[in-house]
Protein backbone atom coordinates (compact mmCIF):
# COMPACT_ATOMS: atom_id res chain seq x y z
CA UNK A 1 0.00 0.00 0.00
CA UNK A 2 1.28 3.52 -0.80
CA UNK A 3 0.45 7.04 0.30
CA UNK A 4 0.91 10.32 -1.55
CA UNK A 5 2.91 13.12 0.09
CA UNK A 6 2.13 16.86 -0.13
CA UNK A 7 4.54 17.09 -3.04
CA UNK A 8 2.85 14.25 -4.90
CA UNK A 9 5.51 11.57 -4.30
CA UNK A 10 4.29 8.08 -3.50
CA UNK A 11 5.86 6.06 -0.73
CA UNK A 12 4.98 2.88 1.16
CA UNK A 13 2.55 3.41 4.04
CA UNK A 14 4.40 3.90 7.31
CA UNK A 15 7.55 5.24 5.62
CA UNK A 16 7.98 8.88 6.53
CA UNK A 17 11.29 9.71 4.88
CA UNK A 18 11.02 12.46 2.30
CA UNK A 19 14.06 13.61 0.40
CA UNK A 20 14.83 17.12 -0.73
CA UNK A 21 17.42 18.19 -3.30
CA UNK A 22 18.92 21.66 -2.99
CA UNK A 23 21.75 23.60 -4.57
CA UNK A 24 24.47 24.24 -1.99
CA UNK A 25 26.74 27.21 -2.69
CA UNK A 26 29.99 27.48 -0.71
CA UNK A 27 32.25 30.48 -0.19
CA UNK A 28 35.61 31.13 1.44
CA UNK A 29 36.83 28.51 3.89
CA UNK A 30 33.76 26.31 3.29
CA UNK A 31 34.44 26.26 -0.45
CA UNK A 32 38.06 25.35 0.20
CA UNK A 33 37.10 22.51 2.58
CA UNK A 34 34.32 21.11 0.33
CA UNK A 35 36.43 21.46 -2.80
CA UNK A 36 33.67 23.05 -4.88
CA UNK A 37 31.86 26.35 -5.17
CA UNK A 38 28.54 24.63 -5.64
CA UNK A 39 26.93 21.23 -5.73
CA UNK A 40 23.55 19.57 -5.78
CA UNK A 41 22.83 17.82 -2.48
CA UNK A 42 20.01 15.40 -1.66
CA UNK A 43 19.11 14.65 1.96
CA UNK A 44 16.35 13.01 3.98
CA UNK A 45 13.97 15.58 5.40
CA UNK A 46 12.73 19.04 4.51
CA UNK A 47 14.37 21.42 6.99
CA UNK A 48 17.61 23.35 7.11
CA UNK A 49 18.47 21.36 10.25
CA UNK A 50 18.14 18.04 8.35
CA UNK A 51 20.20 19.42 5.45
CA UNK A 52 23.01 20.62 7.71
CA UNK A 53 23.13 17.35 9.67
CA UNK A 54 23.47 15.36 6.43
CA UNK A 55 25.89 17.85 4.88
CA UNK A 56 28.12 17.84 7.97
CA UNK A 57 28.24 14.02 7.82
CA UNK A 58 29.39 14.21 4.20
CA UNK A 59 31.70 17.23 4.58
CA UNK A 60 33.62 18.12 7.74
CA UNK A 61 32.67 21.81 7.84
CA UNK A 62 30.45 22.08 10.94
CA UNK A 63 33.19 23.78 12.97
CA UNK A 64 33.54 26.40 10.23
CA UNK A 65 29.86 27.36 10.38
CA UNK A 66 28.10 26.54 13.64
CA UNK A 67 28.96 28.21 16.96
CA UNK A 68 28.59 26.01 20.04
CA UNK A 69 28.68 28.97 22.46
CA UNK A 70 27.64 32.61 22.46
CA UNK A 71 31.33 33.66 22.49
CA UNK A 72 31.94 31.79 19.22
CA UNK A 73 28.97 33.59 17.66
CA UNK A 74 29.94 37.15 18.56
CA UNK A 75 32.97 39.32 18.07
CA UNK A 76 34.37 42.46 19.63
CA UNK A 77 34.30 45.64 17.64
CA UNK A 78 30.63 45.89 16.67
CA UNK A 79 28.94 49.23 17.32
CA UNK A 80 26.78 49.38 20.43
CA UNK A 81 23.11 49.01 19.47
CA UNK A 82 20.68 51.78 20.35
CA UNK A 83 18.50 51.31 23.44
CA UNK A 84 15.43 50.76 21.28
CA UNK A 85 15.88 48.76 18.10
CA UNK A 86 13.51 49.40 15.20
CA UNK A 87 11.33 46.54 13.99
CA UNK A 88 11.47 42.98 15.26
CA UNK A 89 14.82 41.36 15.97
CA UNK A 90 15.35 37.61 16.29
CA UNK A 91 18.42 35.65 17.21
CA UNK A 92 18.91 31.93 16.79
CA UNK A 93 19.19 30.03 20.10
CA UNK A 94 22.64 29.20 21.46
CA UNK A 95 24.05 26.17 19.66
CA UNK A 96 22.11 27.09 16.50
CA UNK A 97 23.99 30.29 15.69
CA UNK A 98 26.67 30.70 13.07
CA UNK A 99 30.27 31.41 14.01
CA UNK A 100 31.73 34.90 13.86
CA UNK A 101 31.55 36.12 10.25
CA UNK A 102 29.93 32.86 9.00
CA UNK A 103 26.40 32.88 7.55
CA UNK A 104 23.81 30.44 6.22
CA UNK A 105 21.27 31.75 3.72
CA UNK A 106 18.31 30.22 1.92
CA UNK A 107 17.61 31.77 -1.48
CA UNK A 108 19.53 34.87 -0.39
CA UNK A 109 17.89 35.35 3.04
CA UNK A 110 19.84 34.67 6.24
CA UNK A 111 18.32 31.77 8.18
CA UNK A 112 17.71 33.83 11.33
CA UNK A 113 15.34 36.03 9.31
CA UNK A 114 13.34 32.90 8.49
CA UNK A 115 12.73 30.07 10.98
CA UNK A 116 16.38 29.40 11.87
CA UNK A 117 17.36 25.75 11.52
CA UNK A 118 13.67 24.82 11.33
CA UNK A 119 13.26 26.66 8.01
CA UNK A 120 11.43 24.44 5.52
CA UNK A 121 13.31 23.74 2.29
CA UNK A 122 11.93 22.77 -1.10
CA UNK A 123 13.52 21.04 -4.06
CA UNK A 124 15.63 23.54 -5.99
CA UNK A 125 16.24 25.97 -3.11
CA UNK A 126 19.70 27.54 -3.00
CA UNK A 127 21.44 27.22 0.37
CA UNK A 128 24.57 29.30 0.79
CA UNK A 129 27.20 28.32 3.35
CA UNK A 130 29.45 31.33 3.78
CA UNK A 131 32.61 31.74 5.80
CA UNK A 132 34.73 34.35 4.03
CA UNK A 133 38.48 34.61 4.00
CA UNK A 134 39.39 37.53 6.24
CA UNK A 135 42.69 39.27 5.64
CA UNK A 136 44.27 41.80 7.90
CA UNK A 137 46.78 44.46 6.93
What would the pLDDT profile of 3-29 be if each residue is shown by its tens digit?
Answer: 333 433 444 444 557 999 999 999 999
Q: What is the pLDDT of residues 61-89, one digit of tens each?
A: 999 998 888 777 776 666 777 788 777 66
- Predicted confidence at residue 77, as pLDDT, reads 66
- Predicted confidence at residue 39, as pLDDT, reads 97
Residues 6+ positions from 54 with CB-CB distance below 8 Å:
41, 43, 44, 45
Residue ranges and CATH numbers for the domains of the chain are 18-74+92-131 (3.10.20.30)
- Predicted confidence at residue 99, as pLDDT, reads 77
Confidence of residue 57 (pLDDT cuts 50, 70, 90): very high
- Predicted confidence at residue 97, as pLDDT, reads 78
- Tell which wins on pLDDT, 116 or 134: 116
Confidence of residue 90 (pLDDT cuts 50, 70, 90): low
Q: What is the pLDDT of residues 26-47, one digit of tens each?
A: 999 999 999 999 999 999 999 9
Question: Which of these, 84, 102, 113, 95, lies nearest to 49 by C-alpha position?
Answer: 95
- Tell which wins on pLDDT, 8 or 128: 128
Amino acid sequence: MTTTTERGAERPTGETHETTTVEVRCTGHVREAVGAAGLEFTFEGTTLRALLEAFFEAYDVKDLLIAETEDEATTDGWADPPDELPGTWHKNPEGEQTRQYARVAIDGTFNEHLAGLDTELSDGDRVSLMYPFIFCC
